[in-house]
Amino acid sequence: MTVADRSPKELWVCHLGVVPYLDGLAIQDEIRARRQAGELPDTLLLLEHPPVYTRGRRSGADDLPFGEDFYRAKGIDVIPTDRGGRLTYHGPGQLVGYPIMRIADVHRHLRTIEHAIIDALAQEGVQARSRREEGIDYTGVWVRDRKIASIGVHVSRGITTHGFAVNVDNDLDPFAWVVACGLPDVAMTSLARESAGPSTPTRPPELCAGDRSLSCFRRRMAHAFCQAHGRRQRLVSPPRVGIDAANAARRATERAPIETISSASAEPTGALQGVPG
């Protein structure tokens, strides 16, 4: 019996702190392979990235109107990925979640992630919503017409990688320098910005005891994610899931480069559009 078979009702949650983006890709590759082999159960990685723009399979040159050199001069790297969606920004203060899970229905997977994020934000007193009925480019979570969280996933042999990003207390200016999420007029927001006025969190105080930091929201998000999937949360350390920072950095340098395709091209099998965060 595999570890996954022994833990069907558990969802492992691992906090990684700040992880360089390429190292994060290498970590996902390793955990996906172990999940496919049944060596790990479904696992949610929660982390932050240093400043980086990531390009999904549907990203085009127009998403970076000033050219890559302009952004790198500002200390923001530009990295292609194999997830669905368009271009987005990650940076400190933004909570990134990578669910590495076996799924049967990728659309249902996206909707469940949206539901979990909406629930976690509601616990902070922020009323958010899905706009999925408006089209694929509106996948994600919105506060009225402002985007607060985004989703972009990749599926390989039934196992997901990539996931979601929630703007908690990060700098929003880098979103304004690009065509974020393929939406030229998108307005981005964050939990900090939406919580600037009085609010009434709906979750009992024992989870965070009044703390509204990223670490508090990370706990709320993990709890909401596991609830949305009907699973019992189990917190595990990075070594428990086989994460070694030095090994991840080495594997990151060995990854084959990923090419993005124009938005007019077909999405490759196994990669699903999700508006990237």
Our count of domains for the chain comes to 1
Residue 230 lies in a domain: yes
Look at residue 254 in the predicted model and tell me its pLDDT.
59
Residue 69 lies in a domain: yes
pLDDT category of residue 204 using cuts at 50, 70 and 90: very low
Question: Can you tell me the distance from the alpha carbon of 266 to that of 173, in angstroms, rounded to the nearest whole number?
Answer: 31
Told to judge if 216 belongs to the known catalytic residues of this protein, a careful annotator would answer no
pLDDT category of residue 67 using cuts at 50, 70 and 90: confident
State the average pLDDT over residues 21-29.
96
The CATH number for 227's domain is 3.30.930.10
Look at residue 246 in the predicted model and tell me its pLDDT.
61
Q: Which of the pair, 208 or 225, is modelled with greater confidence?
A: 225
Is 50 exceeded by the pLDDT of residue 122?
A: yes
State the average pLDDT over residues 115-123.
97
Is 90 exceeded by the pLDDT of residue 233?
A: yes
Could you say which of 14, 181, 216, 226 is catalytic? 181
Question: Can you tell me the distance from the alpha carbon of 138 to that of 113, in angstroms, rounded to the nearest whole number?
Answer: 14
Q: Which domain holds residue 155?
A: 3-272
State the average pLDDT over residues 79-99.
90
Residue 277 lies in a domain: no
State the average pLDDT over residues 26-47.
96
Is 50 exceeded by the pLDDT of residue 260?
A: no
Look at residue 56 in the predicted model and tell me its pLDDT.
78
Angle at 268 between CA 262 and CA 274, to 5 degrees: 75
Look at residue 57 in the predicted model and tell me its pLDDT.
73
Look at residue 203 in the predicted model and tell me its pLDDT.
44
Look at residue 183 in the predicted model and tell me its pLDDT.
74
State the average pLDDT over residues 81-88.
80
Contacts for 260 with CB less than 8 Å, ≥ 6 apart: 55, 56, 57, 58, 59, 60, 80
What SS3 state is found at 44? Answer: strand
Structure tokens at 254: 């060995």
Q: Which of 9, 6, 17 is nearest to 48 (CA)?
A: 17
Residue 138 lies in a domain: yes
Residue 121 lies in a domain: yes
- What tens digit of pLDDT does each residue of 166-185 get? 999 999 999 999 888 777 78
